[in-house]
Amino acid sequence: MAKPSYLDFEIDDYPWKKGIDYKKHPERYKVGKGEQGVLICEPYKSAIGQYWRFKNPEIASESSTKIYQLFIEYLKANDFVGADMARKYLQMGYTRARRYANYKGGKKYDKDNDYKQLERGTGSAEKAAAAAIFYKAYKIAAAHPIYSKLKADWKNKYG
């Protein structure tokens, strides 16, 4: 049985580092997969994270709207790192809300029972609705033509 990946996490191998100002040193930012780095990269973590909420559909709607607005502002400023971080927060709104929709209390693994996966389908319909709101905003952001171009350019330049 697969255990959670965070159990074998190696911080030294993680490309995103605390203590780096990614606005001053955007060249040190890596795109990565999914939401990687979203809870580390400052000052974006603080600027965007303060709006990230998914308690219910109303809060998720307000949150995703604000984060998408930040995404657009970062694009207008030609700030790829900010736009990518905003996109990651939208994606994380979806994945975290889905976790709570699928598992009561958002817990997927039982740490007291050798990290056995808990029963799925015990979560909240309210969180499923919140997840759908974030998913829509995330997909729109990810498909944005300016974002797509900036991302391709970034990967060509920085890997």
| Model pLDDT for residues 47-91, shown as the tens digit of each residue | 999 999 999 999 999 999 999 999 999 999 999 999 999 999 999
Task: Write down the pLDDT at residue 3.
Answer: 67
Task: Write down the pLDDT at residue 32.
Answer: 84
Q: 20-24, 25-29, 92-96, 118-122 — which is least confidently predicted?
A: 118-122
Q: 35-39, 85-89, 142-146 — which is least confidently predicted?
A: 35-39
Contacts of 108 (CB under 8 A, 6+ apart): 4, 99, 102, 117, 118
- DSSP for 31-73 reads --STTTTTTT-BTHHHHHHTT---SSHHHHHHHHHHHHHHHHH
Q: Give me 42's structure tokens.
A: 């400052």
3-state helix, strand, coil in the chain (%, to 5): 60, 5, 35
Task: Write down the pLDDT at residue 112.
Answer: 80
Percent of the chain with pLDDT over 70: 93
Task: Write down the pLDDT at residue 143.
Answer: 98
- Can you tell me the mean pLDDT for 35-52? 95
Is the confidence at residue 23, as pLDDT, over 80?
yes
